[in-house]
Amino acid sequence: MAVNATPAPLTLPTDEPDIAGLVIEDDTPVDSIVTEKQERLLTDALYSSWSGPPPARDGQARPFAAFANVGLFSSSLEPPVVPDVMLSLDVSIPGDQTEKKNRSYFMWRYGKPPEVVIELVSHTPGAELTEKFERYRKIGVAHYIVYDPLGELGNVALRAFELRGGLYVVGGHTWFEAVGLGLIEWDGVFEGFDSRWLRWCTRDGSVIPTGAERALAAGARASTAEARASTAEARASTAEARAERLLAKLRAAGIDPNGDG
């Protein structure tokens, strides 16, 4: 089912506009604790464990950038839209963050919109299915995800929209083939909070682990290997003791174990 009717063409300015008067950050804390953790869970896993999007035709790895609560500017004439999380492929974050032009996602600098945008619905809905929906469509975001675990917008927790021919189509799947990632709901503990979370996943549904989860898994594997080594050593000691007892019995019976019989 297609949503909206008249797609607006995406145009990027050829020259960089003057951004001196643009407000790119106001440091206003608005997220709840759980929302803030959810945002970091989504970005941390990508930087800690994801190998990146499908390789280029020449086999080379492709860069990516993931952001939380960063302004997305499609034009210097419009205010930004601020996704809770966005993922953009084939781009690199500029190293010099002292320059204003490097501290937001200015599409005329990155040359493209992000591939995935995720909005997390809180107790106070923020036009995720109206104004933001329309902005992301016009910007050209390929995959727009609305996660509503509290049911503020209805009885659908996870909505996925895919851009086709300039229109958003409601999709029943959350696997993004061109990105090489998917999204699933996951029940578990993150940073001491036992809740239901939105997680990145591989095609088979395995979650992309965070750095802490990778470290924990590595520690568990090391402990298992150590336990196996200890068990093997104990078995070897037991076998050696049995052999010594057998040799002692042979000697007691007047049999030289090193002889011919």
Q: Strand 167-171 to strand 175-176: parallel, antiparallel, or no bridges (unpaired)?
A: unpaired
Q: Of the ranges 135-149, 153-167, 195-209, 237-251, which one carries the lowest mean pLDDT score?
A: 237-251
- The rounded percent of the chain whose pLDDT value lies above 90 is 60
Give the CA distances from residue 145 to residues 91, 167, 168, 171, in Å, rounded to whole numbers and listed in that order.
21, 15, 11, 10
Q: What's the rounded Cα separation, in Å, for the pair 151 and 126?
A: 14
Question: What's the pLDDT at 71?
Answer: 95
CA proximity to 88, closest of 61, 110, 73 = 110
CA proximity to 10, closest of 85, 150, 108 = 108
DSSP 101: G
Euclidean distance between the first and the last CA atom of the chain, given in angstroms as a whole number: 88
Q: pLDDT tens for residues 41-76?
A: 999 999 999 999 999 999 999 999 999 999 999 998
On the 0-12 / 13-18 / 19+ scale of CB atoms within 10 A, 93 is middle
Between 103 and 17, the more confident residue is 103
Between 233 and 196, the more confident residue is 196
Question: What's the pLDDT at 9?
Answer: 46
Question: What's the pLDDT at 174?
Answer: 92
The per-residue pLDDT of the chain, averaged, comes to 85
Structure tokens at 4: 């909206």
Given a contact cutoff of 8 angstroms between Cβ atoms, the answer to whether 207 and 186 are in contact is yes
Q: Of the ranges 83-92, 109-118, 171-180, which one carries the lowest mean pLDDT score?
A: 171-180
How many other CB atoms are there within 10 angstroms of residue 212's CB atom? 12
Question: What's the pLDDT at 4?
Answer: 57
Helix (H) or strand (E) holding 106: strand 105-106
Which whole number is the average pLDDT over 76-81?
90
